[in-house]
Amino acid sequence: MKIRSSGRFQSQPVPGIVALSSNFLTAATLLIVPALALAGQSPVPVKADSTAQSQPAAQKSEIKVDKRTPAYWRVTFDNPPFNIFGPETIPQLEKVIAEIETDPGLRVVVFDSDVQGFFLTHYNFTPPLEESTSLPSGRTGLHPLPDMLVRLSKAPVVSIALIRGRATGVGSELALASDMRFASREKAILSQWEVGAGFVPGGGPMARLPRLMGRGRALEVLLGSDDVNGDLAERYGYVNRSFPDDKLDPFVDALAARISGFDRQAIADTKRLVDFASLPSDPEIGAGWDAFITSVQRPVAQKNIGRLMSMGLQANFDIESRLGHYTHSLADK
């Protein structure tokens, strides 16, 4: 892809990267993805041997569930190379969330990753628009992604995010929706990068972060749009604790196993009462989503996402692993 002086983008034969247009899309046609607001042209044809990111959902499972005991599950994201979250991931995660909500024996679920360097990252910018717009609203009446995050927070089951690698955008928002977060001191990176690209985050961090770390630090994270390492995340309250990397798994596993042995009703009742005092309301989450939908239509957001895609977003390891650096390069100088 290359930028031309007209502000449009000329596609090159890069598998899975859409050709972008500066034409606006209406809010009625948007559902999830910032870059879908840019997708005014047809996707570049994808060859049969293209990356798994663009394969139909039926051909690839991106989430694995390990039911270690009836009371303790591991839910593992496995969508290499970057654990990008796309419309094909939504029904897979919906199935998992529904099981978490309804399984009568489950007490604890831990979210982790099998992809080195990435816990869970941002939304997939390449699928056709209709793959997201065809998805119905969730049980809360919110769009599917924020709906699942709200339901995870309210489920009668303890959820723990074990963060090793990047938790960016959706990954950060899923971690925030979980009841507890533990991070690798050396390898965890959390970020809400959206403002750096010219749009508003959509998965609820404006409602959740001030409750965890206070208004000033929440604004620093959201408006700075920079990477937050494990140590700083702990000091700010972004995560419960950070650990040396070799101590992270043993601690989380021991805590999850410990809680999984306690009475399920006592766990559910205690969590429900804590929720009263700490969770944002569904309308707060919905307001953030509405702001996101509006913001992604603005020309600055369209231009900035296009610039990141032209740099190699979703294709280049350095872009994905140093997203804070590259979003800073978009800023007016």
What is the rounded distance in angstroms from the CA atom of residue 85 to the CA atom of residue 205? 17
Tokens for 61? 């499972």
Mean pLDDT score, 78-90:
93
pLDDT tens-digit profile of 230-242?
A: 999 999 999 999 9
* 46 in any annotated domain: no
The CA distance from 63 to 84, in Å, is 12
Q: Is 196 part of a structural domain of the chain?
A: yes
Residue 24 belongs to a domain: no
**Residue 35 included in any domain:** no
Q: Residue 36 carries which DSSP code?
A: G
- In whole angstroms, give the CA distance from residue 181 to residue 46: 37
Asked if residue 2 has pLDDT above 60, the reply is no
Q: Does the pLDDT value for residue 51 go beyond 50?
A: no
Residue 262 has pLDDT above 80, yes or no: yes
Other CB atoms closer than 10 Å to residue 217's CB: what's the count? Answer: 18
More confident of the two residues 95 and 126: 95
- Determine which helix (DSSP H) or strand (DSSP E) holds 2, and give its type and residue range: strand 2-3
Of all residues in the chain, what percent are helix, strand and coil, respectively (each to 5)? 45, 15, 40
Confidence of residue 7 (pLDDT cuts 50, 70, 90): very low
Structure-token match 């009841």, residue found: 179
Token readout for 93 is 């995660």
Alpha helices in 76-169 (DSSP H): 89-102, 130-133, 144-154
Asked whether residue 19 is assigned to any structural domain, the reply reads no
Q: Is 252 within the bounds of a domain? A: no
pLDDT at residue 125 in the model = 75
Contact 107, 157 (CB under 8 A): yes
pLDDT grade for 32, boundaries at 50, 70 and 90: very low
CATH code at position 227: 3.90.226.10
pLDDT at 230: 97
pLDDT greater than 90 at residue 226: yes
Q: What percent of the chain has pLDDT over 70?
A: 80
In a domain, 318, yes or no: yes
Sign (positive/negative) of CA torsion 197, 87, 160, 320?
A: negative
Tokens 């999850």 label which residue? 256
Angle at which helix 282-295 crosses helix 205-213, to 10 degrees, equals: 120
Q: Is residue 168 part of a domain?
A: yes
Rounded to whole angstroms, the Cα distance separating 206 from 218 reads 8
Higher pLDDT, 110 or 38: 110
| Beta carbons within 10 angstroms of residue 274's beta carbon | 11
CB 18, CB 305: distance < 8 Å: no
Q: What is the pLDDT of residue 251?
A: 98
Helix (H) or strand (E) holding 64: strand 63-69
Q: Beta-carbon neighbour count of residue 87 at 10 Å?
A: 24
pLDDT bin (cut points 50, 70, 90) of residue 59 is low
Instruction: Quote the number of domains for the chain.
Output: 1
Q: Can you tell me the mean pLDDT for 106-123?
A: 96
Are the beta carbons of 124 and 115 closer than 8 angstroms?
no
Q: Worst-scoring range by mean pLDDT, 47-56, 116-125, 230-239?
A: 47-56
238: containing domain: 63-246+272-329
Collapsing DSSP states into helix, strand and coil, what is residue 19? coil
Task: List pLDDT tens digits, range 180-218.
Answer: 999 999 999 999 999 999 999 989 999 999 999 999 999
